[in-house]
Amino acid sequence: MSKVAVIGGGIVGVATAYELAKLGEDVVLFEKNYSGSGSTFRCATGIRAQFTDEANVRLMKYSIERWEKLEEELGFDINFRQTGYLFLATSEEEVEAFKSNIRLQNRFGVPTRLIDMDEAKEIVPILNTEPFLAGAWNPKDGKANPFKTLFAYLFRAKEMGVDAREHTEVVGFEREGDEITAVKYRSKGKVERVKVDAVLNAANAWAPVINEMVGLKRDIVPIKAYKHQLIKTEPLERGQVEPLVCPPSWNDAYIIQDGEDGGVICGAGIEHEAKSLNDVEPTYDFLRGALRYALMMAPPLKYAHVIRQWAGFYAKTPDRNPAIGKLLNNFYIAAGFSGHGFMMAPAVAQAVAELMVKGRSKVPLDWGWYDPYRFERGELRTSAFQIG
Ligand SMILES: Cc1cc2nc3c(=O)[nH]c(=O)nc-3n(C[C@H](O)[C@H](O)[C@H](O)COP(=O)(O)OP(=O)(O)OC[C@H]3O[C@@H](n4cnc5c(N)ncnc54)[C@H](O)[C@@H]3O)c2cc1C
């Protein structure tokens, strides 16, 4: 059994701590604030295999298979529901692009199909079909409750002996050559150290700070924090907008009914580079812009009250694909998840834990695609479709 430190108590860190414990590792999990306080508790709940490249389609196909069994495995209600994702095309060129994406997704067993607006209206009764020509529909995509999912993973991880330390910030490392030998952390104002055999950087937007602490270049994995926001309405009768509905050409705007209370979550690609890693102040331009798109998609929403607006980070690499893999002999990273870290977590956590313990994984994760050193080599991937 080796001692593994996981840095970051978001869904990726917590799920990986759980997977490491399953493999018999002695895990200490550091979270500088409270678990989920980074991007995870601010996300839009969405889970999809509708990506536009092979690596992300295959990873998400597998991740959804894990999601399907997660309630049973973790023994908690996490409110995972396969209510689908519906992308909407506004031009003939987009319909052609959808067809090509569908062919790719079908090739890897994702059952997306092109649907007409009559069928779209059956799926989303309050949809304004008029601006749209066709939809890309995958009924296996879905949503889950981020709070319940993270707590379920954390509960089971602790049960298996994971030492989860909240309000405990990693502040430094001890290193011999390419090996990290100890992690230094601050808790209740006191700095202490723990000897470790391996470390995972799962700090997402904060990952470059951790890389720098280790003695790597801060931008070896160039992750930047972008402020993304959501608005939520009061609860509506269920069944109005159960899938995530998104016309990508409308600035990636989307709506989805929260699986928990039926409020409609409205998002859009109206983003701001974060002024600092504390900048989660919601903005008025987002409120106006996101609501305008939401009402164009579903006009009856004008009768619903907005009850909340909040912001969090999309931690973005230049190609919007995460960095997953090894940075030094015993120092690993899984960070930079843009708008898709929640949905990927079950697959990524398993893959990373297996990589750290066994040196290989049975998860269909293309290590070359997500290679953390690709930026240094100037090898960007095609941009991952980024919305939630
Ligand atoms: C508005 C919005 C909507 C989104 N919608 C979706 C969606 O629908 N579907 C989806 O899949 N994804 C979505 N995302 C993205 C998703 O939230 C993230 O990709 C995911 O939560 C990343 O998880 P993580 O564990 O990597 O990072 P985080 O949840 O950010 O966790 C990283 C943690 O590291 C901790 N940390 C940092 N530095 C230190 C340190 N020195 N010591 C100890 N701890 C430290 C932080 O406090 C933080 O809690 C959305 C994001 C936003 C903002």
Parse the chain into domains and list their residue ranges.
Answer: 3-42+147-223+319-370, 85-139+224-316
Query: How much distance in Å is there from the Cα of 103 to the middle of ligand 1?
Result: 31
Mean of pLDDT values over 25-33: 98
Q: CA nearest 150: which of 142, 140, 158?
A: 158
pLDDT at 30 over 90: yes
Q: How many Å apart are CA 384 and CA 246, to the nearest integer?
A: 16
pLDDT at 384 over 90: no
Residue to mutate, 45, 145, 204, ligand 1, most ligand atoms under 8 Å from C-beta: 204
pLDDT at 203 over 70: yes
Q: How many Å apart are CA 97 and CA 89, to the nearest integer?
A: 9
Query: How much distance in Å is there from the Cα of 237 to the middle of ligand 1?
Result: 30
pLDDT at 379 over 70: yes
- Asked if residues 38 and 312 have their Cβ atoms less than 8 Å apart, the reply is yes
Say whether domain 3-42+147-223+319-370 belongs to CATH 3.50.50.60.
yes
Confidence of residue 129 (pLDDT cuts 50, 70, 90): very high
Query: How much distance in Å is there from the Cα of 12 to the middle of ligand 1?
Result: 8
Confidence of residue 380 (pLDDT cuts 50, 70, 90): confident
Nearest CA to ligand 1 atom 48: 38
Question: What ligand 1 atom has the least distance to the C-alpha of 256?
Answer: 8
Residue to mutate, 34, 40, 78, 149, ligand 1, most ligand atoms under 8 Å from C-beta: 40
- In terms of C-beta density within 10 A (0-12 exposed, 13-18 middle, 19 or more buried), how is residue 284 classed? exposed
pLDDT at 386 over 70: no
Mean of pLDDT values over 185-194: 97
Nearest CA to ligand 1 atom 20: 341
Backbone angles phi, psi at 344, to 5 degrees: -85, -15
Query: How much distance in Å is there from the Cα of 202 to the middle of ligand 1?
Result: 9
Q: In this predicted structure, what is the pLDDT of residue 383?
A: 78
pLDDT tens string 65-122: 999 999 999 999 999 999 999 999 999 999 999 999 999 999 999 999 999 999 999 9
Which token pair is 293? 């798109």
Topology annotation, domain 85-139+224-316: D-Amino Acid Oxidase; Chain A, domain 2 (3.30.9)
Tell if the pTM clears 0.85, that is, is over it: yes
Question: What ligand 1 atom has the least distance to the C-alpha of 14?
Answer: 25
Q: In this predicted structure, what is the pLDDT of residue 387?
A: 63
Q: How many Å apart are CA 133 and CA 92, to the nearest integer?
A: 8
- Asked if residues 137 and 112 have their Cβ atoms less than 8 Å apart, the reply is yes
Question: What mean pLDDT, rounded, does the chain reach?
Answer: 97
Q: How many Å apart are CA 380 and CA 359, to the nearest integer?
A: 25
pLDDT tens string 147-180: 999 999 999 999 999 999 999 999 999 999 999 9
Q: How many Å apart are CA 223 and CA 240, to the nearest integer?
A: 37
Q: In this predicted structure, what is the pLDDT of residue 1?
A: 79
